[in-house]
């Protein structure tokens, strides 16, 4: 039985590439019986990255206990973002760069969480500490995860360690990472090709805040007008999903990756969001969030505060 | 405001020394404004270690938010084992070697948990990875934590990494670590000098298992008869504390450190303990646990299973 390595539901580029790069780390570490898998199919951005490097999508699993007793988690730790039957297997390892919540084990494990720009940033450090080989392909995949999560090092989640890692990976990789990275990010912004449902679900994560269920989706674009033009349809799709799933608050954040600004649509306890940012939804029912690009660093902490105070 | 570094309540030798050695790591890492503190006074074993190296006990704090906004945790992560007002400060760092439970943050942090013999084993790796200096005193303190938690490398929690670290620390330290270590362990077994209340509280930790509150204390001895002779008085003290605190199960494990065996006394849901070990309390109301020396590895996981199945 292979140890399965996987990231969060609604996989993004960091989650998919971190599963692959951690699997490579494990192999060099002597654990040959590991398999990187995914909890969903790749989004447009990730598909661009995999196609670019001629890689097949990871095998998609819905449950894990039917085929293994041991798993490693990357890029997440919260139960509601993980595989549904996680409680039925042993978590041997967690490599992450998010807050820690809704996570518990029966026995000691290897858990390494660092406040860096990507899960791949932590895995990169593990390779360096052990002196393991980073191939041009692995370097490019690590960079893909970092570029995706930090919008090419522009997000406030970017640390000096991330910038140094990017420079080091550029020396190893066969491609111009900045040029490739911008193409990869743009591949994820082709909203015309995506349904309203896909837009509100594609990068959505659920959080528990003050006992309430908060769903936060983020969608990247190169022009916020592409989102504004579809606002009515997007909000209708949000309402249907909120009714079906019982979210207390559903937020969709549209992020202009060229200008590093965002706008939010929301349904439910919108006052908590207004309270978090100290401003009101405008006449178009949009909450303008200048300078906000990171859900993790600029949205989740202030919104959690707002729900828990 | 200094960042406060501390281990768990009812501090043991690993918790106290890990706070000191992590503070030294932080200073070499450029964070000079840190202070190692403790959530209680040193036990007899730890007092022996501190006296041996002519160190004063750490300052004891009952709360932290009154003097700082930032804390680092060593040797624990569960809320009920930590400072009471932990929710009012930001946890920047966690260095631990236990299961993860009852732990959550609002924002990303540095969290490093490894399944090693002591919290000091993780800190030792951090020193090595960064190439920081381990002085003879710091080496001796790291070894003290490891010796205490692994009963001089005899506990099943001892890993190859721990053994290699011990050998490396012996090269740095000014004392014969085995000889010193055995004296330190024996200093912690002078039961004649300890009250019944101190015996049932000295190394006790609380756990949540299947929604129930489980209190598990462990006491080391060189002769289990020293415990058997006081069984009635110890159990009476346990009953009083159980009534006062409302534990669902209260277990005191007496461990013979010379022969690596244990015996348990228990009050409350004793059937869960019997179920966990597949055997019954004997006519003297003792549960014989041959080969059991590690609460963490040999008691908590099976007992959690027993409560949660
Ligand atoms: Mn990530
Ligand atoms: Mn410890």
At B163-174, the pLDDT tens digits run 999 999 999 999
Picking from A80, A97, A100 by the largest number of B CB atoms within 10 A of its own CB, the best residue to mutate is A100
Among candidates A108, A297, A305 on the partner chain, residue whose Cβ is nearest the Cβ of B113: A108
- Beta-carbon contacts of A309 under 8 Å, excluding residues fewer than 6 positions away, are none
- Beta-carbon contacts of A165 under 8 Å, excluding residues fewer than 6 positions away, are A121, A124, A142, A146
CB contact under 8 A, B99 and A115: no
State whether A220 and A168 are in the same domain: no
Nearest to A214 by CA among A266, A287, A254: A266
Among candidates A98, A103, A108 on the partner chain, residue whose Cβ is nearest the Cβ of B108: A98
Amino acid A1: pLDDT: 84
Q: Is the pLDDT of residue B299 over 90?
A: yes
Question: Which residues of chain B lie closer than 8 angstroms to A108, CB-CB?
Answer: 97-99, 113-115, 296-297
Question: Which residues of chain A lie closer than 8 angstroms to B276, CB-CB?
Answer: none
State whether A141 and A162 are in the same domain: yes
State whether B291 and B225 are in the same domain: yes
Question: Which residues of chain B lie closer than 8 angstroms to A304, CB-CB?
Answer: 106
Question: Which residues of chain A lie closer than 8 angstroms to B108, CB-CB?
Answer: 97-99, 113-115, 296-297
Cα distances from A293 to residues A121, A240, A256, in angstroms, run 19, 26, 8
Among candidates B106, B129, B297 on the partner chain, residue whose Cβ is nearest the Cβ of A305: B106
State whether B171 and B42 are in the same domain: yes
Do residues B219 and B203 lie in contact, with contact meaning Cβ atoms separated by under 8 Å? yes
State whether A20 and A65 are in the same domain: yes
C-alpha–C-alpha distance, residues A27 and B12, integer Å? 37
State whether B258 and B121 are in the same domain: no
> Of A148, A171, A187, which one is at a domain's C-terminal end?
A187
Q: Which ligand is nearest to the CA of B17?
A: 2
Min Cα–Cα distance to chain B from A111, Å: 5
C-alpha–C-alpha distance, residues B214 and B254, integer Å? 17
Cα(A13) to centroid(ligand 1), Å = 8
Among candidates A102, A106, A296 on the partner chain, residue whose Cβ is nearest the Cβ of B99: A106
State whether B224 and B278 are in the same domain: yes
Question: Which residues of chain B lie closer than 8 angstroms to A90, CB-CB?
Answer: none
Cα(B22) to centroid(ligand 2), Å = 13
C-alpha–C-alpha distance, residues A106 and B305, integer Å? 8
A278 — pLDDT class (breaks 50, 70, 90): very high
Q: Which ligand is nearest to the CA of A118?
A: 1
Among candidates B100, B110, B112 on the partner chain, residue whose Cβ is nearest the Cβ of A105: B100
State whether B147 and B210 are in the same domain: no
Residues A58-77: what's their mean pLDDT? 97
Cα(B108) to centroid(ligand 2), Å = 24
CB contact under 8 A, A113 and B111: yes
CB contact under 8 A, B106 and A99: yes
Amino acid B270: pLDDT: 97
Alpha helix segments (H runs only) across chain A: 13-28, 44-52, 119-130, 136-150, 160-172, 177-187, 196-201, 225-228, 231-245, 270-277, 300-308
Place of tokens 């534990």: B247
C-alpha–C-alpha distance, residues B142 and B148, integer Å? 10
B112 — pLDDT class (breaks 50, 70, 90): very high
Cα distances from A299 to residues A188, A273, A278, in angstroms, run 21, 9, 12
State whether B67 and B205 are in the same domain: no
Residues A224-231: what's their mean pLDDT? 96
Residues of A near B (Cβ–Cβ under 8 Å) read 97-115, 129, 296-297, 300-301, 304-305
State whether B214 and B170 are in the same domain: no
Cα distances from A237 to residues A6, A226, A250, in angstroms, run 29, 16, 11
- Say which CATH number the domain at A288 has: 3.10.310.20
Q: Which ligand is nearest to the CA of B46?
A: 2
List residues bridging with B263 in a β-sheet: B254, B288
Counting residues of chain A whose pLDDT is more than 70, the rounded percentage is: 100
A186 — pLDDT class (breaks 50, 70, 90): very high
State whether A104 and A7 are in the same domain: yes
CB contact under 8 A, B114 and A110: yes
The total domain count for chain B is 2
Picking from A70, A98, A107, A160 by the largest number of B CB atoms within 10 A of its own CB, the best residue to mutate is A107
- Beta-carbon contacts of A9 under 8 Å, excluding residues fewer than 6 positions away, are A39, A40, A81, A82, A205
Amino acid A71: pLDDT: 98
Q: What tens digit of pLDDT does each residue of B54-111 get?
A: 999 999 999 999 999 999 999 999 999 999 999 999 999 999 999 999 999 989 999 9
Amino acid B156: pLDDT: 92
B309 — pLDDT class (breaks 50, 70, 90): confident
- Say which CATH number the domain at B55 has: 3.90.1640.10
Return the number of CB contacts < 8 Å for A and B.
84
Q: What tens digit of pLDDT does each residue of A4-52 get?
A: 999 999 999 999 999 999 999 999 999 999 999 999 999 999 999 999 9
Task: Output the average pLDDT for chain A.
Answer: 96
Q: What tens digit of pLDDT does each residue of B208-248 get?
A: 999 999 999 999 999 999 999 999 999 999 999 999 999 99
Do residues B103 and B79 lie in contact, with contact meaning Cβ atoms separated by under 8 Å? yes
Nearest to B135 by CA among B167, B164, B169, B165: B169
Amino acid B143: pLDDT: 98
Beta strands in chain B (DSSP E): 3-6, 34-36, 70-74, 90-96, 110-113, 205-209, 212-221, 249-256, 261-268, 287-290
B130 — pLDDT class (breaks 50, 70, 90): very high
A60 — pLDDT class (breaks 50, 70, 90): very high
Cα(A145) to centroid(ligand 1), Å = 7
> Of B187, B207, B223, which one is at a domain's C-terminal end?
B187
Report helix, strand or coil for B266. Answer: strand
CA B106 remoteness from chain centre: 26
Backbone angles phi, psi at A54, to 5 degrees: 55, 45
Cα(A75) to centroid(ligand 2), Å = 27
State whether B113 and B206 are in the same domain: no
Q: What tens digit of pLDDT does each residue of B241-281 get?
A: 999 999 999 999 999 998 999 999 999 999 999 999 999 99
Cα distances from B274 to residues A255, B265, B266, B291, B302, in angstroms, run 57, 11, 10, 16, 10
Amino acid A20: pLDDT: 98
> Of B152, B172, B187, which one is at a domain's C-terminal end?
B187
Cα(B95) to centroid(ligand 2), Å = 10
Cα(B34) to centroid(ligand 2), Å = 21
C-alpha–C-alpha distance, residues B95 and B110, integer Å? 8
Question: Which residues of chain B lie closer than 8 angstroms to A112, CB-CB?
Answer: 111-113
Q: Is the pLDDT of residue B1 over 90?
A: no
Domain span at residue A291 reads 194-307
Min Cα–Cα distance to chain A from B54, Å: 33
Q: Sheet containing A287-290: give its strands across.
A: A205-209, A212-221, A249-256, A261-268, A287-290
Amino acid A306: pLDDT: 96
Report helix, strand or coil for A126. Answer: helix
Look up residue A85 and give its DSSP letter.
Answer: T
Q: Is A148 exposed, middle or buried (0-12, 13-18, 19+ CB in 10 A)?
A: buried
């Amino acid at each position: 039985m292979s140890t399965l390595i996987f990231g969060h539901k609604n996989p993004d580029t960091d989650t998919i590439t971190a599963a692959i790069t951690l699997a490579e780390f494990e192999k060099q570490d002597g654990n040959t019986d590991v398999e990187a898998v995914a909890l969903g199919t790749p989004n447009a951005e990730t598909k661009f990255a995999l196609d670019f490097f001629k890689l097949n999508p990871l095998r998609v699993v819905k449950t894990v206990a039917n085929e293994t007793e041991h798993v490693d988690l990357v890029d997440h730790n919260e139960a509601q973002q993980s595989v549904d039957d996680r409680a039925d297997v042993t978590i041997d390892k967690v490599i992450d760069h998010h807050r820690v919540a809704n996570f518990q084990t029966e026995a000691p494990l290897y858990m390494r969480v660092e406040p860096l720009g990507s899960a791949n940033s932590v895995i990169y450090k593990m390779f360096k500490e052990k002196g393991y080989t980073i191939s041009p392909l692995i370097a490019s995949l690590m960079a893909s995860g970092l570029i995706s999560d930090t919008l090419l090092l522009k997000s406030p989640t970017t640390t000096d360690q991330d910038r140094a890692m990017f420079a080091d990976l550029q020396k190893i990789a066969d491609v111009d990472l900045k040029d490739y990275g911008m193409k990869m990010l743009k591949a994820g912004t082709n909203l015309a090709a995506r349904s309203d449902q896909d837009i509100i679900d594609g990068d959505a994560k659920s959080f528990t805040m003050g006992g309430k269920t908060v769903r936060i989706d983020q969608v990247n674009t190169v022009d916020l007008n592409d989102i504004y033009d579809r606002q009515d349809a997007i909000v209708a799709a949000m309402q249907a999903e909120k009714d079906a799933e019982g979210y207390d608050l559903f937020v969709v954040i549209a992020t202009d990756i060229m200008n590093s600004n965002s706008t939010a649509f929301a349904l439910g306890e919108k006052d908590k969001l207004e309270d978090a940012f100290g401003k009101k939804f405008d006449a178009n029912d949009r909450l303008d969030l200048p300078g906000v690009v990171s859900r993790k660093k600029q949205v989740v902490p202030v919104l959690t505060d707002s729900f828990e105070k």
